[in-house]
Amino acid sequence: MNATAVIKKNTYFDSVSLMSISTKANQLDGVEQAFVAMATAKNKEVLSNLDLLTAELEAAGNGDLMIVTVTGDGVDTEATLARIEELLQRKAPASGGSRVTHRTLVSAAKADPTANLAVIAVNGAYAAREARTALDNDLHVMMFSDNVALDDEIALKTLAHDKGLLMMGPDCGTAIINNVGLCFANAVRPGPVGIVAASGTGSQEVSVRVHAIGGGISQLIGVGGRDLSAEVGGVMMIDAIRALAADPRTRAIVLVSKPPAPAVERKVLAEIATAGKPVVVYFVGGSEQAVTEAGGHYAADSQDAALQAVRLTSDPEAAVPGLDTDRVTSVRAKLDPQQRYVRGLFCGGTLCDESMYALLDAGVDEVWSNIQKTPDRVLGAKDESRGHTFLDFGDDEFTNGRPHPMIDPFPRLERLLQEARDPEVAVVVLDFVLGYGAHEDPVGVSLPAIAEAKSVAAAAGRHLEIVGYVLGTDQDDPQLSAQIALLEGAGVTVTRSSTETGQYARAIISEGARA
Q: Give me the CATH number covering residue 427.
A: 3.40.50.261
For residue 379, pLDDT beyond 70: no
- Give 386-434 pLDDT, tens digit per residue: 889 999 888 767 766 667 778 777 778 889 999 999 999 999 999 999 9
pTM of this structure:
0.83
297 located within any domain: yes
Tell me what the mean pLDDT of segment 60-69 comes to: 91
Measuring CA to CA, how many Å separate 278 from each of 115, 230, 492?
31, 26, 38
Residues 6+ apart with CB under 8 A from 365: none
Task: Check whether residue 488 and residue 374 sit in a common domain.
Answer: yes
**Residue 309 shares a structural domain with residue 197:** yes
> Among candidates 219, 188, 192, 190, which has minimal Cα distance to 205?
188
Q: Which domain holds residue 359?
A: 325-509
Least confident of 155-164, 188-197, 499-508: 499-508
Residue 96 belongs to some domain of the structure? no
Domain count along the chain: 3
- The 3-state secondary structure of 466-497, one letter per residue: EEEEEECCCCCCCCHHHHHHHHHHCCCEEECC
Please check whether residue 100 lies inside any domain of the structure.
no
For residue 27, tell me if it sits in a domain.
yes
Residue ending a domain, choose from 33, 66, 91 = 91
In a domain, 97, yes or no: no
Residues 246, 284 within the same domain: yes
Could you tell me the CATH number of the domain that includes residue 35? 3.30.70.100
Residue 381 has pLDDT above 70, yes or no: no
C-alpha to C-alpha distance for 18 and 327, rounded to whole angstroms: 42
Distances (CA, A) of 166 to 119, 272, 508: 12, 19, 44
Residues 74 and 24 in one domain: yes
In this structure, are 274 and 401 located in the same domain?
A: no
CB 479 within 8 A of CB 283: no
Check whether residue 385 and residue 470 sit in a common domain.
yes
Q: Do 84 and 175 reside in the same domain of the chain?
A: no
**What does residue 4 show for φ and ψ, rounded to 5 degrees?**
-130, 140
**Does 318 reside within a domain?**
no
In a domain, 436, yes or no: yes
Measured distance CA(301)–CA(500) in Å, rounded: 10
Q: What is the pLDDT of residue 370?
A: 65
Residue 48 and residue 125 share a domain: no
> CA 237: distance to chain centroid?
19
Regarding whether 139 and 109 lie in a shared domain, the answer is: yes
